[in-house]
Chain A
Amino acid sequence: MDRCMSTASSTPIRKVSDGVSDQFPAGLRVLVVDDDPTCLKILEKMLRNCLYEVTTCSQAEVALSMLRESRTGFDIVLSDVHMPDMNGFKLLEQIGLEMDLPVIMMSADDGKDVVMKGVTHGACDYLIKPVRIEAIKNLWQHVVRKRRNELKEFEQSGSVEDGDRLQKASDELDYSSSVNEGSWKSSKKRKDDEDEGEERDDTSALKKPRVVWSVELHQQFVAAVNQLGIDKAVPKKILELMNVPGLTRENVASHLQKYRLYLRRLSGVSQHQGGVNTPFMSPQEASFRSISSFDGLDIQAFAASGQLPPQSLASLQAGLGRTTTSTGVAMPIVDQRNIFSSEISKLRFGSVQQLSNSGKQVSLLPGLPTSMEPKQLPHPHQSVQSFGSIGLQASEGTSTFLNMPTSLRTTLSTQMHGVHGNRSSPSMMQMSQTQSRNQSLNEMVGGHASGIPSTIGQQIFSNECSGQVLDRDRTTINGRSAACNPVSQVSSVVDFSMNHMTELPGNGFPLASATEVSNLTSRGMFQEGRKMGLKGSRGFAPSYDIFNELHQPKTQDWELQNVGLNFEASQHLNSIIQSNTNHAPSIMGGQGFSSSLKNGQNINMLVYGNAVVSAGEANEHGNTENSAQRPNIHLVNTSFRVKSEEIPDLSCEKLLIPDHFGQDDLMSALLKQQQGVGPVESEYNFDGYTMDNISV
């Protein structure tokens, strides 16, 4: 029977991202999927008796759509192995890839090979039926464990496996275009099995925690793929080329699959709208590479990944001359961590690139196709981590980007995931340019809780920002709070009309942790770092609730509530940012914004496209000391990690990106800004944002 009902338990303690219910584990939101009605009923009762909030489903497809609809609506999933419409392992994989929730498998089959399959596919546990209530009672441990692991990974900085890399929502600039639509997230919708198959069995029995495809990582990936040629790119070779410790072929395979889908999707979108030289590489391919002509705001392209509304995108394009943005982008960035923020790379901010020394990908600047230089992120330190496609380098403190003259504020929509959509990122960038108004460097993204794949929604920020694409200035990364939205809320963000951006003080910065992010806020357009609307993180997976509770300090100001916040977020951001001092970018798993933004940290979110660069996130891990966060404009996708370092109140101004950005200018402008910023800057002296160095 397919009965999907949401049963509210008697104690619907909803864990909000900002805090964990103290009745935890009561109120844990469980989704049970089993085609056997008897078992379903029994499990439901057991779960209710444990005071969990239960939703039952007898069909895997329905369950998936429920999950997609509300990425943060559940904390854990219980699924049967044998189901008529979809294999339980496949569901498991999908959930892991798309939502990264803990999944427990169940079966009457206790054969060793089946159990092994569960392990290799990433199940958190495997229960043999008949399931006893004792097993149910302890379900919450998986949720906590996962969050802790993610956090830990995040803190470990920049490890690839960072679970929470903040997806940098590259709020790209107005490129709502394809970036959005391309958003990875949407691509996640596909249900097909991974073509690549990479057999999970193939991986070591020890299944690693899900890899968060940070911007940087993604860029590396894309670079590798491009190098091999999209047709010839096989996971094994890609893995070799990428040479990332800890990354498995399986990870690459699944990512590749997604990427392919993403590309397909992008190609279907009219991405380049204008003939702009999309610095960002037009959807896929070329764009990835070409960081070249980043017009000023390649970031926009990235922003586009966010979800720039088509029109803004168009405007951006017009402004930028770049087309690449897939206008469709306005989509809410699925929170996937679209790493493909290659678009972000597109963000070439010419200058930004330079800023980022390390190859961190997010080179917001010169349209570096992140893919190209995987490491190129503009900011050297930026821990690009998890920047998915984010062009945003939310370097904390890096307000450099933000400092871009307001004009720039191209709101890069930090789409974190959306960056995928980055295709449009070029356009996004453009958009951002136009948006420039937005100035808001939407750093937004910074907030994302690391790894907020879901937050990606945020990306959209910037797009909205005044259509004026930052062309001149820099695309302000729209921190659209969209970025904050941990989950797909992005779409809402997208709607930010650029106008919003301006207004939002920081709006849109998805920077969740705006706290530090403060940088983003550019006045009006720029979201002053603080403003980072990153409230997005809120949406982040509920799981974060726990997360939050675990890492309270960090998230505190997350306000990143889903993008929807967008502006409210921004406002909050301000407050948050300011108040946030700590923020360890709590990697909020999905939270889009790593709260790591420490106060004052300027989140230089040059979020390209999706990546919300979490500037400063990097700091969280360990790097904290680095005040050196460079405000690199790290357009990191999605994973915008805001450095948790405490940034001495960088005035947002600093973040503003100088208007005269041209690509080259941008960088220099940023650099100047940095210098000009004064002591504060020095702290963050990162080009874009200080990101933890994502050492890939």
Chain B
Amino acid sequence: MDVNQMERRLVDYTASLFREGLLDDQFTQLQQLQDESNPDFVVEVVSVFFEDSERLLNDLGRTLDQQIVDFKKVHDHVHQLKGSSSSIGAQRVKNGCIAFRNFCEEHNIEGCLKCLQQVKQEYFLVKNKLESLFRLEQQILAAGGSIPMME
């Protein structure tokens, strides 16, 4: 497809992510922060987020797997994941963390494990979508187009 088409596609794609609740306004904020001095800002931040989140998710899995579960640790990890996901606008991940935290406070292992699954799912989903988004952006730029600003 030509550049214009790609650009339109990008716009639609992005809009759908918002519509489905995968992304929220915070993501837009990130996009607005990006400027010429830092043209890859969004990609960079999101990459950091991916790395960090995967680490947290692994830690969570390990912690919940212990004989004696250290709920404080679980709580701290969840809290951090909540913070970072909300900072980049990964809304569904954040919501999953809220539910997760509640189970954690109740010391409900089952509940926590379920939530962990849920959060993981949401995380991989948004990761996937964002990666597609970035790819699309790259293609547009490579083709000489420009990324349309959302909103």
A and B pair up: yes
A interface residues, Cβ below 8 angstroms from B = 10, 35-39, 41-42, 45-46, 49, 80, 82, 84, 107-109, 129-133
Asked whether B52 is an interface residue with its Cβ less than 8 Å from the other chain, the reply is yes
A46 cross-chain contacts in B, Cβ below 8 A? 33
Whether the Cβ atoms of A132 and B29 lie closer than 8 Å is yes
Q: Give Cα A45 to B33, complex, Å.
A: 7
B151 interface residue (CB < 8 Å to A): no
Q: Which one of B29, B32, B79, B88 contacts A38 once the chains associate, using CB atoms below 8 Å?
A: B88
In whole angstroms, how far apart are the Cα atoms of A130 and B26 in the complex? 7
B98: nearest chain-A partner, CB-CB = A108
Are A108 and B83 within 8 A (Cβ)?
Answer: yes
Nearest chain A residue, comparing its CB with the CB of B85 = A38
A10→B49 CA distance, assembly (Å): 26
B1-53 interface with A by 8 A CB criterion: 26, 29-30, 32-33, 35, 37-38, 41, 44-45, 48-49, 51-52
Residues of B close to A84: CB separation below 8 A: 76
Known: A42-B33, A130-B29, A130-B83; 19 extra A-B contacts, CB below 8 A, are A35-B80, A36-B87, A37-B52, A38-B45, A39-B83, A39-B87, A41-B44, A42-B87, A45-B33, A49-B33, A82-B79, A82-B80, A129-B83, A129-B86, A130-B86, A130-B88, A131-B87, A133-B29, A133-B33
A-B contact count, CB below 8 Å? 63
Contacts of A45 in B (CB 8 A): 33, 38, 41, 45
CB distance from A398 to the nearest CB of B (A): 55
**Which chain B residues lie closer than 8 Å to A80 at the CB level?**
83
A132: chain B residues within 8 A (beta carbon): 26, 29
Task: Assess the B52–A36 pair: CB atoms within 8 A.
Answer: yes
Interface size grouping (class) on chain B:
20 to 34
Q: Which residues of A contact B88 (CB under 8 A)?
A: 38, 42, 130
Nearest-neighbour CB distance to chain A for B81, whole angstroms, equals: 9
A45 to B87, CA, bound (A): 13
Q: Is B82 an interface residue (CB 8 A)?
A: yes
B residues touching A (Cβ–Cβ < 8 Å)? 26, 29-30, 32-33, 35, 37-38, 41, 44-45, 48-49, 51-52, 76, 79-80, 82-84, 86-89
Task: Enumerate chain B residues within 8 angstroms of A39, measured Cβ to Cβ.
Answer: 83-84, 87
Show 26 A/B contacts (Cβ-Cβ < 8 Å), sorted by A. A10-B37, A36-B80, A36-B83, A38-B87, A38-B88, A39-B83, A39-B87, A41-B45, A42-B33, A45-B41, A46-B33, A80-B83, A82-B79, A107-B83, A108-B79, A108-B82, A108-B83, A129-B83, A129-B86, A129-B87, A130-B26, A130-B86, A130-B87, A131-B87, A133-B29, A133-B32
Contacting pair A38 B33 (CB below 8 A)? no
Q: Are B76 and A82 in contact (CB under 8 A)?
A: yes
User: Given A108-B79, A129-B87, A131-B87, are A38 and B26 neighbors across the interface (CB < 8 Å)?
Assistant: no
Report the nearest A residue to B50, measured CB to CB. A38
How far, in angstroms, from A109 to B76 measured CA to CA in the complex? 11
- Within 8 Å CB of A42, what residues of B? 30, 33, 45, 87-88
Chain A: which residue is nearest B49 at the CB level? A38
List, in ascending order, chain A residues with CB within 8 A of B38's CB.
45
A49 touches B52 (CB 8 A): no
Q: In the assembly, what is the distance between CA of A10 and CA of B35, in Å?
A: 14
Chain A residues with CB below 8 A from B82, complex form:
108
How far, in Å, is B59 (CB) from chain A's closest CB?
A: 12
Q: Shortest CB–CB separation between residue B2 and chain A, in angstroms?
A: 33
Distance of A115 from chain B, by nearest CB (Å): 15
Contact A49 B35 (CB under 8 A): yes
CB distance from A49 to the nearest CB of B (A): 6
In the assembled complex, the Cα of A41 lies from the Cα of B44 at a distance in Å of 9
Query: What residues on B are CB-neighbors of A109 within 8 Å?
Result: 79
Smallest Cβ-Cβ distance to B26: which chain A residue: A130
Minimal beta-carbon separation of A436 from chain B (angstroms): 59
A10, A41, A109: most-surrounded residue (chain B CB, <10 A): A41
In the docked arrangement, what's the CA distance between A10 and B48, Å?
Answer: 24
- Kindly state the separation between the CA atoms of A49 and B48 in the bound complex, as whole angstroms: 20
Q: Which residues of chain B come closer than 8 Å to A36, judged between CB atoms?
A: 52, 80, 83-84, 87
CB-nearest residue of chain B relative to A80? B83
Question: From A134, which residue of chain B is reached at the shortest CB distance?
Answer: B29
- Ordered nearest first, which 5 A-B pairs have the shortest CB separation? A108-B83, A38-B84, A130-B87, A38-B49, A130-B86
Q: Give the distance to chain A from B117, nearest Cβ to Cβ, in Å.
A: 21
Q: How far is the CA of A469 from the CA of B68 in the complex (A)?
A: 67
Indicate the member of B35, B37, B80, B86 with the most A CB atoms within 10 Å: B80
Whether the Cβ atoms of B29 and A41 lie closer than 8 Å is no
